[in-house]
Amino acid sequence: MTTIAPHQRTAVGRHRRELEVILASAPAGAAVVVCCIVPPATCGPPLHAHATCDETLYVLSGVLLVRDGGQVAAIGEGGLVHIGRGTPHTFATTPGAGARFLILHTRYDRADAPAHWPTSPGRTDARRD
């Protein structure tokens, strides 16, 4: 069992987004969970794909616009989007609403990790931008 207290989480600011790493590098590098807060009218990352992991977005509050492949969907509070590995995707918020959501990466391989995510709370060997 892995238990992480709120004070053990790592906060990261990136591209007008506030990120908080809740869980990184679970046993065998199987998952990463990040809480993300994005203000209204904010573009997310450029269109990208993950070669070695699936990504799931779960909206806690607000509205998130998600582009998955060629489809765009407005996902409200309690909505979930699952994006399979290798699928180009991105997200943004509407002019009228920001969003707070969880990002879960599964079948995660360390080589595919975004450079700004630490390997685990308190570790200092993380890759950096």
- State the pTM of this model: 0.72
pLDDT at 33: 80
pLDDT in tens, the chain (129 residues): 677 777 777 666 666 666 677 666 655 556 778 888 889 999 888 899 988 889 999 999 999 999 987 899 999 999 999 999 899 999 999 998 899 999 888 875 555 555 554 444 443 333 332
In this prediction, residue 122 carries a pLDDT of 42
Place of tokens 């409200």: 76
Please give the DSSP secondary-structure letter assigned to residue 114: -
Q: List, in sequence order, every beta strand (DSSP E) within the chain.
A: 10-14, 17-23, 31-38, 54-68, 71-76, 80-83, 89-92, 99-106
Domain residue spans in the chain?
9-112
DSSP letter (8 states) at residue 87: -
Q: What is the pLDDT of residue 119?
A: 47
Note the pLDDT of residue 120.
Answer: 43
pLDDT at 89: 95
> What is the reported pLDDT for 27?
53
d(C-alpha 39, C-alpha 95), whole Å: 9
Domain 9-112 CATH (choose: 1.10.8.640, 2.60.120.10, 3.60.20.10, 3.40.50.1000)? 2.60.120.10
Per the CB < 8 A criterion, the answer to whether 36 and 117 are in contact is no
